Amino acid sequence: MLRMTGWEEKLDPNLRRMAERVVPGMRIALPVDYAGVSMAMTRPLIERGAGDLDLVCVPTGGLQVDMLIGAGLVRSVETSGLSLGEAGGAPRFNQAVKDGAIVIRDATCPAIHAGLMAAQKGNPFTPIRGLIGSDVLANRPDWKVIDNPFAAGSPADGPDPIVLIPAIHVDVAIFHAPMADRAGNVWIGRRRELAAMAYAARTTLVTVERIVEESLLADEITAAGVLPALYVSEVAVAERGAWPYGLWGEYGADTAELQRYAKAARSAEGFADYMRAGALEAAQ
Amino acid sequence: MLRMTGWEEKLDPNLRRMAERVVPGMRIALPVDYAGVSMAMTRPLIERGAGDLDLVCVPTGGLQVDMLIGAGLVRSVETSGLSLGEAGGAPRFNQAVKDGAIVIRDATCPAIHAGLMAAQKGNPFTPIRGLIGSDVLANRPDWKVIDNPFAAGSPADGPDPIVLIPAIHVDVAIFHAPMADRAGNVWIGRRRELAAMAYAARTTLVTVERIVEESLLADEITAAGVLPALYVSEVAVAERGAWPYGLWGEYGADTAELQRYAKAARSAEGFADYMRAGALEAAQ
Amino acid sequence: MIASVTPREILIATIARLLDGVHHVAVGASSPIPAAGAMLLRALKARAGAEPVRISILGSVEHNFFTNGSTELFDCAGQGRIDAFFLGGGQIDGQANINLVGAGDYPRSSVRWPGSFGSAYLYFVVPRVILFREEHTPRVFVEKVDFISAPGVSRPGIHRTGGPYALLTGKGLFAFDRARPGFRLESVHPGHSLGEIVEATGFAFAHDAAPPTTALPDPAILALLRGPVLDDLQETYPDFAAQMRREIAAAADAA
Amino acid sequence: MIASVTPREILIATIARLLDGVHHVAVGASSPIPAAGAMLLRALKARAGAEPVRISILGSVEHNFFTNGSTELFDCAGQGRIDAFFLGGGQIDGQANINLVGAGDYPRSSVRWPGSFGSAYLYFVVPRVILFREEHTPRVFVEKVDFISAPGVSRPGIHRTGGPYALLTGKGLFAFDRARPGFRLESVHPGHSLGEIVEATGFAFAHDAAPPTTALPDPAILALLRGPVLDDLQETYPDFAAQMRREIAAAADAA
C-alpha cells in the first residue's frame, strides 16, 4: 500500500472525518468523469487507507479510480470503461489488470444503471436487452438469463432470452456537486445518476463547491434538481473539488493536469512521486 | 355518446388540432390530479369524439377521466385509484363500473410506474415486490409471477415468487405544465412522472401556462426540470389549463368547482348539463 | 383538566405513541389525524433532544421532500427508508386484509371506492403500518373483505419486510399479532366499552376480560399538541386545525 | 478544385451519406469526424427544407439535450428514438464483432483498452450502427476478436432491432450484410487500392473485381462543409476544427 507521510495533517478535517466512514471491504459507488467526481475526497481516502474496496463505476471510471488502485486500496472494479479520456488509458488500472492484482468486472453502461435501478426500487433484479452473445455476459456469472415470460411470438419462434442484472447495493456513494443547503439537500441538476447512486447506497458522502443559505427545496425551479437530504449522510465544502476534472456549469476539465498524471503514473514510482508532489502542493 | 353542440367552434383551434391526434381505440396516459392535468384538453377531446379509449392513469385519476367516461369515450381504465379527492367519489366512473359499461383494470401505484419504466427502458417487463395474495394481482391475468432466479435462501426456503409487470406503451400522453420554450422543451420540475409518461408514449401533447423565449436548456438550473423536445410532439398555450385542478407552484385547486361537478354529475343528465353550461362559460 | 381532552386528541396522542422509535413516517395529504400524530412525535423528540423524526406529507407541495415524481415514495419505501405509514379501508377484516376497491362482487361492485392506491405494495415493505379508521362499525370491520387490496399476512417464503402493526379506530386500539395471526384489543377509548366494540366488530379478536382504557395524553403532551403542533398542522391542514381548535374550546367550556 | 479535398473531408461526406434518412443520431464527445458527418447531414437537410436532423453529442454540456443523467441515452435508444450511432473497436472482425476491452487472454489482457461502454446494449437496439475506425491495419481488423464486447450478429429469436450497417476506415467503405453475414467492400478511398485493403484486413470480405472509388463531395457540399458545418463543429470540437482548417489550407496550397 502506498505510504505518504508528512502531509496528512494538511487535509481538510471535514473530508478526513467523512473518509472515516469508509472501512475495509466496503463497496463504493463513484460517478463518471463529467458527472461530478469528488476528487477532493481521493487523498483523504488514501490517507484513511481502508483497503479491499470493491468499486462500482457509474457507469465508467477514470482518475479517481486509477489513484485508489495505485494506492493499493482496491480489490475489484465493476465498470463499463476506465480511462483518462483524452489523456489516454488509466495507467495504474491497466497495470493492475495485467498483473492480476485486481478483479475486473467488465459491464456495459446500461447494465450498471439497471443494477442501481433494481436497488432503487427494492427489486432483486432489472431486465436488460442486448448483451446476449457477448463476452461481457459470458464473464458475469452473477448475471442471469431467463426466457421472457411475456414473449409475444408463437412457440415456433422459440424462447426469447433476456438478461437480468442483480441489484447493485453499495455501502457508500461519494460524489461532488455544485451546492447544498443547510438542511443537507444537494443540488445535482440533470446529473440524475448521482441520485441513483444515493438511492442505492447506505451512506452518501458529498462534497460541494458551496453551501447556500436558502432551502433548495423552497422554490420549484431549484427543487427540480435536488437530491433530498433524506439520502445524504454528510456534506462538506471542497472548492474546485472535482479538479482536475470539471464540474458541469462551473468549470472545465484541466486536461494538461490529466496528461501530467497519465505520464507520471506509467510506473508505480512515478505515481508515488506524483501523489507526494500533488499532496505538498495541495497543502500549500 | 354525449352530444354537445353549439360551442365547439369556441374552442381554441390549437387544442382542437392537438385533439385530432387522438383516434378511436388509442391508449392514452393521463397524470394524477396534482401533477399537471391538462383539463384544457378535456373538451376538445370530447368534441373530437374519438372513442373506445383505453386510459392509463399515472398512477391515479380524477375529474378528467370521469368526464371522458361520462362522455362515453372510454372502453377501459387502468388505474390505482379514481376519485375527486376531497370532493368524493368519481360519479360517472362509479356508475360505469356498476353498469359494467367500462373495463376496469385495478392496479397499484408502483405497478403503473413499473410498467412505464419497462417502456422507458425498452424492456418487456419490470419486477415489483408486494402484490402476492392480493385480489389486485388475482384480477390481472396480464401480470405474471415468476420465481426470483436470484433468491438467496437455501432450497429449503422454497421459491421466492415475484410479480412482473409488462411494459405500458401508450399511443398518446397528455398533460399540462407551467412552461415550454420555442424549441418545445417543457419544464416539468420535479413531476418526473410526466417524463415517464412521455418516454412511454408515441405522441406527447402538452398544454402550458406560457411560452418562454429563452431556451430552458440554456442554463443548468432550469434544465434540471426539463422534458426535452425530443419527447414532445406538440405544445399549446392554455392559461390556467389545469383548472379546476391546481398546478404546482402556480395556483391551487378550486375545490368548490370540483364539489359542484361532483354534485351535478351524480346523474347522466346532471353531467350533460354541467358540461354544456361549463362549455358556454368557457366560450364567453 | 383531563376531562377536556377531545376524542381526536386521544387518537393523535395514541398515534404518536404507536410511532415511537420511527425515523421517517409518510402520511397521506388527506390524513390530518395521522399527520398530527407524527407531528406530535416529532415535537416530543425535538423537546427530548432525541434523533429527529422526518415526516413526508404526500401530495403536499409545501411539505414535499421528494423530487423524483410520484414514484419516489414507493422507491423510498422499497429501499427501507420509510418506517411507518397509515392505511385505511372501506373494509378491514380479522386477518388485517384491507379493501379499498369496493363492496360486492368485483368488478361490478355495488359500492365502488377509489381504489387500492399504493397499498398492495406499501403494506409489504413498510415495517410499521398503522391501520386507521375512525368509523368503527360492522360495515367496515368485516369477517372477510370482499376484495383484498392488500393482504394482512403472507405465507412463509413471500418477501415481506412490512405489514400491519396496529389498528386504531374511534372506539379502541388493537395490536396485530402476525404469528397467530389476528388482532388483540389493547385498550378501549374513554366513553366506549368492550361490549360496544365486540358488537361493532365483524371479526373475532383477542382481548382481556377487562381491557384497560386508552391512556390520555399527560398535561405536558397536551400543551405541546395544543401549542406548536397545532400551529404546524395549521400550515398543511388549515380546515382541520381550525376544527380542532373549536372542539378544544367546546370541550373546555363543557368541563 | 477536387484535388484539394482532404481525406477527412471524404470521411465526413461519406458519413453524411450513410446517415441519410435518420432523424436522430447520437455521437460520442470524442468523435469529431462522426459529429461532423452528422452536422453536414443536418445542414444538407436544412438547406433542402427537409425534416430536421437531431444530433445528441454525449458528454458535452453545451449540446446535451438529455436531462435524466447518463442513463437517458440508453433509455432513448431502447425506446427506438435513436436511429444511428457510431462504434469503434480495438479489434473488429469479419462478423462485425467488436472488442473494446483488450487483446490477449481475458481478463489479464496483454493490452487493455478502456472497456465496452454502452456497446453491448446499443449495438442491439440502434438500427444503423456505423463502425468507424481510421486505422486500417491487420492489428485492428482481425479474423476473430479476442473478446466480444458486442456481437455483430445474433441467432434468430434474439431480440435485436439494431446492428452493424457499414464499416468506414481510412482506406475504404464496407457495407455489412446481416444475412450472409459479412462485410462487402463498397468503395476504396482515393489514394488507396483493393490490394492494399486486402493486405490490411485480417478477415475475408466480399468485393467486386474493381471496386469503385469512394465518391468525393460535390463542390456545393464541400462549400457547406467548409463553411457553416465547420463553424458548428468549432463550438464543440475547437481543436479538431482548427486542425481541419489547417489541412484544408495545406491541400489548397498543394493543388
Instruction: Tell me the pLDDT tens digit for each residue of D173-232.
Output: 999 999 999 999 999 999 999 999 999 999 999 999 999 999 999 999 999 999 999 999
Nearest CB to D68: which of A79, A107, A192? A192
Could you tell me the CA-to-CA distances from A22 to A27, A176, A239, C64 in Å, in that order? Answer: 9, 17, 22, 31
Q: Does A228 touch chain C (CB under 8 A)?
A: yes
How confident is the model over A31-53, as pLDDT tens digits? 999 999 999 999 999 999 999 99
- The pLDDT-based confidence of C255 (bands split at 50, 70, 90) is low
Q: How many CB pairs under 8 A join A and D?
A: 150
CA angle at D124 for the pair D122 and D130, rounded to the nearest 5°: 65
Q: What are D174's three cell numbers?
A: 464496407
Phi/psi at D91 (5° precision): -135, 145
Instruction: Compute the average pLDDT of residues B64-84.
Output: 98
**Is B65 among the domain residues?**
yes
Nearest CB to A193: which of D70, D122, D147? D70
Question: Is-contact A145 A164, C-beta < 8 A?
Answer: yes
Q: Does A183 touch chain C (CB under 8 A)?
A: no
Q: Which A residues 131-160 touch B at CB under 8 Å?
A: 144, 146, 148-151, 160
Output the pLDDT for position A277: 82
Query: Any idea what DSSP says for residue B247?
Result: B
Could you tell me the CA-to-CA distances from D242 to A98, C226, C243, D232 in Å, in that order? Answer: 38, 72, 73, 12
How confident is the model over A213-267, as pLDDT tens digits? 999 999 999 999 999 999 999 999 999 999 999 999 899 999 999 999 999 999 9
**Is A155 among the domain residues?**
yes
A135 to D71: CB separation less than 8 angstroms, yes or no: no
Question: pTM of the predicted model, to two decimals?
Answer: 0.96
β-pairing, A226-227 vs A234-237, is unpaired
Question: Is-contact A236 A15, C-beta < 8 A?
Answer: yes
Query: Any idea what DSSP says for residue C97?
Result: -
**Is A80 among the domain residues?**
yes
Question: How far, in Å, CA of D86 to CA of D105, rounded?
Answer: 26
Question: How far, in Å, CA of D1 to CA of D254, rounded?
Answer: 11
Question: How far, in Å, CA of A216 to CA of A214, rounded?
Answer: 6
- The pLDDT-based confidence of A154 (bands split at 50, 70, 90) is low
Output the pLDDT for position C29: 77
Residues B28 and B147 occupy one common structural domain: no
Could you tell me the CA-to-CA distances from B106 to A26, B61, B137, C78, D169 in Å, in that order? Answer: 42, 12, 9, 21, 55
Output the pLDDT for position D255: 67
Q: Does C119 touch chain B (CB under 8 A)?
A: yes
Residues A251 and A153 occupy one common structural domain: no
Could you tell me the CA-to-CA distances from A109 to A59, A80, B273, D58, D147 in Å, in that order? Answer: 5, 5, 56, 13, 17
Output the pLDDT for position B279: 59
A122 to C54: CB separation less than 8 angstroms, yes or no: no
B191 to C69: CB separation less than 8 angstroms, yes or no: yes
Per-residue buried b or exposed e for A69-80, using 16+ beta carbons within 10 Å of the residue's own CB: bbbbbbeebbbb
Question: How far, in Å, CA of D29 to CA of D55, rounded?
Answer: 12
A150 to B125: CB separation less than 8 angstroms, yes or no: yes
- The pLDDT-based confidence of C132 (bands split at 50, 70, 90) is very high
Nearest to D187 by CA among D201, D175, D178: D175
Q: What are D133's three cell numbers?
A: 475506425
Residues B69 and B40 occupy one common structural domain: yes
Q: In the structure, do chain D and chain C come into contact, i.e. share 3 or more CB pairs under 8 Å?
A: no
Residues B25 and B158 occupy one common structural domain: no
What angle, rounded to 10 degrees, do the helices at B268-283 and B255-264 form? 140
What angle, rounded to 10 degrees, do the helices at C238-254 and C7-18 form? 120
Domains of chain D, by residue range, sit at 7-254
A partners (3+ CB pairs within 8 A) are B, C, D
- Locate all alpha helices (DSSP H) within C98-237, ordered by sequence: 119-125, 194-200, 219-224, 230-236
Output the pLDDT for position B9: 52
A189 to B127: CB separation less than 8 angstroms, yes or no: no
Domain count, chain A: 2
Give the minimum alpha-carbon distance from A120 to chain C in angstroms, rounded to a whole number. Answer: 6
- The pLDDT-based confidence of B76 (bands split at 50, 70, 90) is very high
B122 to D78: CB separation less than 8 angstroms, yes or no: yes
**Is A229 among the domain residues?**
no
Question: How far, in Å, CA of C154 to CA of B132, rounded?
Answer: 8
**Is A218 among the domain residues?**
no
Mean pLDDT of chain A: 93
Phi/psi at C50 (5° precision): -85, 175
D partners (3+ CB pairs within 8 A) are A, B
- The pLDDT-based confidence of D236 (bands split at 50, 70, 90) is confident
- Locate all alpha helices (DSSP H) within A164-254, ordered by sequence: 193-200, 220-223
Question: How far, in Å, CA of A33 to CA of A23, rounded?
Answer: 24
Residue B280 has pLDDT above 70, yes or no: no
A136 to D149: CB separation less than 8 angstroms, yes or no: yes
Domain with A84 in it: what CATH number?
A: 3.40.1080.10
Q: How many CB pairs under 8 A join A and C?
A: 36
Instruction: Compute the average pLDDT of residues D120-144.
Output: 98
Q: Which domain holds residue B35?
A: 8-108+168-177+241-283
Question: Is-contact A270 A262, C-beta < 8 A?
Answer: no
Q: What are C198's three cell numbers?
A: 365486540
Residue D89 has pLDDT above 80, yes or no: yes
How confident is the model over C193-224, as pLDDT tens digits? 999 999 999 999 999 999 999 999 999 999 99
CA A24 to chain centre: 17
Mean pLDDT of chain B: 93
**Is A65 among the domain residues?**
yes
Residue C13: enclosing H or E segment and its boundaries?
helix C7-18
Phi/psi at D164 (5° precision): -70, 140
C75 to A120: CB separation less than 8 angstroms, yes or no: yes
Output the pLDDT for position C235: 84
Q: What are A133's three cell numbers?
A: 452473445
More confident residue, A153 or D123: D123
Output the pLDDT for position C3: 52
Nearest to B106 by CA among B149, B63, B62, B57: B57
Residues B69 and B89 occupy one common structural domain: yes
Residues B22 and B67 occupy one common structural domain: yes
Burial of A282 (0-12, 13-18, 19+ CB in 10 A): middle
Output the pLDDT for position D253: 83
Q: Does A229 touch chain C (CB under 8 A)?
A: yes
Give the minimum alpha-carbon distance from B170 to chain D in angstroms, rounded to a whole number. Answer: 12
3 state SS for chain D = CHHHCCHHHHHHHHHHHHCCCCCEEEECCCCHHHHHHHHHHHHHHHHCCCCCCEEEECCCCCCCCCCCHHHHHHHHHHCCCCCEEEECCCEEECCCCEECCEECCCCCCCEECCCCCCHHHHHHHCCEEEEEECCCCCCCEECCCCCCCECCCCCCCCCCCCCEEEEEECCEEEEEECCCCEEEEEEECCCCCHHHHHHHCCCCCECCCCCCECCCCCHHHHHHHHHHHHHHHHHHCHHHHHHHHHHHHHHHHHC
Residue with cell 478526513: A16
Question: Is-contact B34 B249, C-beta < 8 A?
Answer: no
- The pLDDT-based confidence of A274 (bands split at 50, 70, 90) is very high
D67 to B119: CB separation less than 8 angstroms, yes or no: no
- The pLDDT-based confidence of D65 (bands split at 50, 70, 90) is confident
How confident is the model over D35-44, as pLDDT tens digits? 999 999 999 9
Residues A140 and A14 occupy one common structural domain: no
Question: How far, in Å, CA of C9 to CA of D128, rounded?
Answer: 67
Q: What are B233's three cell numbers?
A: 410532439
- Locate all alpha helices (DSSP H) within C114-237, ordered by sequence: 119-125, 194-200, 219-224, 230-236
**Gyration radius (Cα) of chain D, Å:** 18
Residues A69 and A147 occupy one common structural domain: no
Domain finish residue from B166, B187, B215: B166
Residue with cell 418545445: B184
Residue among C64, C67, C122, C159 with most chain A CBs within 10 A, to mutate: C67
Output the pLDDT for position C253: 83
Question: How far, in Å, CA of B151 to CA of B158, rounded?
Answer: 9
Class of domain D7-254: alpha beta
Residues A100 and A140 occupy one common structural domain: no
User: What is the maximum span of chain A, computed from C-alpha positions, in angstroms?
Assistant: 72
**Is A207 among the domain residues?**
no
CA A126 to chain centre: 20
| Chain A residues whose beta carbon lies within 8 Å of the beta carbon of residue C74 | 121
Residue B79 has pLDDT above 90, yes or no: yes
Question: Is-contact A79 D90, C-beta < 8 A?
Answer: no
Output the pLDDT for position B6: 47
C78 to A122: CB separation less than 8 angstroms, yes or no: yes
Sign for the CA dihedral angle at C5, C10, C16, C18 comes to positive
CA C50 to chain centre: 23
Where is average pLDDT lowest: A203-207, C63-67, D21-25, D77-81?
C63-67
- The pLDDT-based confidence of B153 (bands split at 50, 70, 90) is low
**Is B42 among the domain residues?**
yes
Instruction: Compute the average pLDDT of residues B139-150.
Output: 97
Sign for the CA dihedral angle at A126, A128, A133, A136 comes to negative
Residue with cell 443536418: D42
